[in-house]
Amino acid sequence: MADLSVKVAGVTFNNPLIAASGTFGFGREYSEFYPLEKLGGISCKGITPTRRDGNPPPRIAETPSGILNAVGLQNPGVDAFIRDDLPWLKQQNTVVIANIAGNTPEEYCLMAEKLSATDVDMIEMNISCPNVKNGGVQFGTSCESVGAITAAVRRHCTKPLVVKLSPNVADIASIAKAAEASGADALSMINTLTGMRIDINSRRPIIRNNTGGLSGAAIFPVAVRMVWQAANAVDIPIIGMGGISTWEDAAEMLMAGATALQIGTVLFSDPYAPIKINEGLNSFLDKNGITSVTELTATVQPW
């Protein structure tokens, strides 16, 4: 058996597979399938300062090889998470990552401060949110805004800080460098691509929000490309995600430069996907005489 453990920003995961934010809730439903300690970690559903009911339906729809969603960050709020969900999560013997989302820098800083006083293991900052103080432009779309929000949250965050990057940018490497320079301990990438589908009979978009985030196997090649570009630009570890569905995908993402992985959309069709991916990775490592999964990271050899 190869060693599947990895370390990200000083935090040790017993394997590289992390349930991605927004696809796993707070883990209770999936714990009916298997002990959550079989996962390397859980990135919890995105948390906001107060309760959100999310967008009106329809807000999720299948597309070829993927899902289009505009759920709208439905969640109970940071205080309810700390009170009701975190104590249970900390009993599951896996790494707990709190994912935060806000509309102003002050909201992010408030949550980072509150969560830093708890026993979450890491904080993941979703910067694919509209900055209402800057005309609704996403925090993650320019080097300046990424640097500013990362630096602000860094001052309030005593936990390892992971910055989750949006793929809806022109130069992902520069964005990654801006996050690193401003205090990020690690990056997670990529978040969903903006997409849209139309019902040709009603002539309306298939989701009420008109546009939404595209995830699933359809975006995997984009994710691999962006992880590879970022890995060649920064020295901090990268948690790779975006359409990982099989152990072969996982190996590919590691070779592109990821240290750990998040899987999401595939969980809706196969809750056991992370178990299967870990088993497949282990067999691949054993077959090739590789003693540790860390030996795969950043080993791609471009032409």
**Residue positions annotated with a catalytic role:** 129
Q: Whose CA is closest to 166, among 183, 178, 154, 153?
A: 178
Q: Which residue is associated with the tokens 């497949």?
A: 280
Is the separation of the CB atoms in 4 and 278 below 8 Å?
yes
Give ∠ CA 245-297-189 in degrees, rounded to 5: 55
E-only strand ranges, the chain: 6-8, 11-13, 17-19, 41-43, 60-63, 66-69, 95-100, 122-126, 130-131, 137-138, 161-164, 186-189, 193-195, 198-199, 204-205, 212-215, 238-240, 260-263
Could you give the residue ranges of the DSSP H alpha helices within the chain?
78-80, 86-89, 105-116, 143-154, 172-181, 220-231, 247-256, 266-269, 273-287
